[in-house]
Chain A
Amino acid sequence: MAVGAGILRVPKEAKKGEIVKVQMVITHPMEPGTRKDPQTGQLIPAYHLTKLEVFFNDKTVSVIDMGGGVSANPFIGLTLKVEESGIVKISYEDNKGGKWEKTAEIKVV
């Protein structure tokens, strides 16, 4: 998968007031900038996600700051209290200016 591609997983349906898990995996090398190429001995430049925001119906749920200490292809799990049907949106960016978005829907039944 291409860098920046993401998978956002939420339950399709939830009861009103239920606390559900929001899980995501993003394809990204997460180079910390401190590693050396074993062949050339040159530092591999930093290339990692810096910020990830989670929204529900355009209201901020969580803001995550991260650096090169998070594993490659980062997995993140959070919780969300669902009071109404709506759209979960994640938007994330890396230190080279890449920006992506991903959405998923939850229905209150």
Chain B
Amino acid sequence: MDRRRFLVLSVLGVASLTFVPGLMRTSLAASKLEEDIQKRLGVSLSQIKESADVKLQAPTIAESGANVPVSVESDIPVEKVDSIWIFVDNNPSPWITDVKLTPMNGKVYFATRIKMGQTSNVRAILKLKDGSYLMATKEVKVTVGGCG
């Protein structure tokens, strides 16, 4: 009897450890970011895979959230790339900008300065011509917000 109870408890324990964090993650992240990405790109965030081919440069700690320099670069030939998208997870509106590239650009490069309300992940998403997406993520710590 004791052994059976132990078994049942351990199974429950393992189940809760594996499933509960997953549930929490999806409920938290069914957020503005996911909505925005779904609306603008037509795919869900979970379908976009991280790739080292996308090089996202941003400061680790931003002096001011009102002006965070960000640049995106990639060695993927520009002929294969449709556009570059920039999102900030915790901003009131996560979509920042998107850039359509053409072969006349010569290479995949885009630099700008963005606003950040608080410490958050910055995401650079490359939309390829074959319909797939690649993403790079970087956390930027913000001491003074720039959205309000």
Contacts and interface: CB of A to CB of B under 8 A. Distances in A.
Interface residues of B, number: 32
Nearest to A63: B100
Contacts of B96: 66-67, 69-70
A81 B105 contact: yes
A73 B105 CA distance: 23
Contacts of B115: 30, 32, 68-71
A63 B146 CA distance: 26
A61 B78 CA distance: 12
Contacts, number: 98
A95 interface: no
Contacts of A78: 99, 105, 109-111
Interface of A: 19, 30, 32, 34-36, 56, 59-72, 74-81
Interface of A is mostly: strand
B71 interface: yes
B91 A62 contact: no
Nearest to A36: B148
B108 to A, nearest CB: 8
B114 interface: yes
Nearest to A20: B106
B104 A61 contact: yes
A102 to B, nearest CB: 17
A78 B71 CA distance: 10
In the A-B complex, list the 4 residue pairs whose CB atoms are closest, starting with the nearest. Answer: A81-B106, A77-B111, A69-B96, A19-B106
Contacts of B100: 62-64
Interface in B9-28: none
B76 to A, nearest CB: 14
Contact of A65 (B98, B112, B146, B147): B98
A42 to B, nearest CB: 14
A78 B110 CA distance: 5
Nearest to A65: B98
Nearest to A69: B96
B38 to A, nearest CB: 17
B67 A71 contact: yes
Contacts of A59: 104
Nearest to A35: B148
B68 interface: yes
Contacts of B134: none
Nearest to B91: A69
